[in-house]
Amino acid sequence: MSEYIEHDKQGVSVGIVEKKLFTFAEPPDEMVLENGARLGPVTIAYETYGTLNADKSNAILILHALSGDSHAAGYYSKNDEKPGWWDIMVGPGKGIDTDKYFVVCSNIIGSCMGSTGPCSTNPKTVQPYALDFPVVTIGDMVRSQKELMDYLGAKQILCVVGGSIGGMQVLEWTLRYPQMVKSAIPLATTTKHSALTIAFNEVARQAIMADPAWNNGNYYYGPKPNLGLAVARMIGHITYLSDESMRLKFGRRLQDKSDFSFNFDADFQVESYLRYQGKKFVDRFDANSFLYITKAADYYDMEKQYGDGSAVKAFAKASAKFLVVSFTSDWLYPTYQSRSMVKAMKKNGLDVSFLEIEAEWGHDAFLLPNERLTNLIRGFLERVCRENTT
């Protein structure tokens, strides 16, 4: 996911929010991961907006994508330059209305945004885990989020919502905890990565690992693999846009010059944009986290895990009401992938709504201000909330 964080045009905001930490699985009761490794203690960074109601039925869980964090909405301080990454959607009276719902956004394990990940301290060595951090899965992420929701006292989750890798967590929630999840909104996502998506991720990982500063993951006391991570991010940004959006946004326009420089500086605007995005990213993201999270996403295959390779068999375990949304120009998670999950849901008689939104901005469309998406989510949530109480 890219960053498109802007202040709300109407100035509506959930206000000042605080990042909180929840820790569980203290040794010797470590969390046993899907690959058999033990991890503990496990810390999850999270934020909450709104209030859990008396019958604990109004919780909405937001799940972020690759480079996101728990800061979905609001500001950390009065002078904060930017709100949370989905502030356009989450707040008073917005698509996900914090006046009505108790909204939780959980960071994922493996990340570097406050939850336990490769840059956290390994209690056994008192050094950063680096590559001693076990390879976590989407299932592990969701199991740790379940611990958080139990801790917060949410007996059921009215809706789990997220896009991209966040959407994979949404699907995982509906299959792993079907009794708890009343509804789900998987946006611009898939039940399993295509070869194309795995290929892009692998090139990005190779860019990091080819940087000498990566040093087999041990760079926490020296220079970081910034060049490799920046290239990885540049690759990501290409996949988040589309042919059309790049044509509209950049075309062949040159950056601050009227002719070619006849050297290898950034001549084209698109080059300059990618370099800027790459540089910006290394300041806030850990290269090892990038490796771990992309690997978790590549491994994810809910059809194999829950249905012996059949999406129909897998979704037989779900009971949530679904709103599936895809975007016309998304070539990372194209509409056919959403349609195939919708088909499997229908074959199981699940309550599913589906829309492919016409959008030129590629995979990133789910993060951009989109009145249609806002209204879809609002209408869907109002209905599932109403049906849940009657």
Residues 289-328 that bind another protein (CB under 8 A): 321, 323
- The Cα-based distances of 265 to 227, 277, 390 in angstroms read 16, 16, 63
Please identify, using beta-carbon distances, which residue of 148 and 323 lies nearer to another protein. Answer: 323
Q: Is 330 an annotated catalytic residue?
A: yes
Q: Would residue 132 show up in a list of annotated catalytic residues for this protein?
A: no
Judged by CB under 8 A, which stretch of 23-31, 260-268, 301-309, 351-359 contacts another protein? 351-359
33 near another protein, rule: CB under 8 A: no
Residues 360-379 that bind another protein (CB under 8 A): 372, 375-376, 378-379
Catalytic residue among 144, 330, 338, 364: 330
Choice from 220, 276, 331, 354 touching another protein (CB under 8 A): 354
By CB under 8 A, residue 343 contacts another protein: yes
Binding residue (CB under 8 A) for another protein from 356, 360, 368, 388: 356
Contacting another protein (CB under 8 A), which of 194, 269, 353, 388? 353
Contact region with another protein (CB under 8 A), list: 5-13, 113-121, 264-272, 343-351: 343-351
The footprint of another protein on residues 43-62 (CB under 8 A) is none
Q: Does 383 bind another protein (CB under 8 A)?
A: yes
Note the residues at the interface with another protein (CB under 8 A).
321, 323, 339, 342-343, 346-347, 349, 351-358, 372, 375-376, 378-380, 382-383, 386
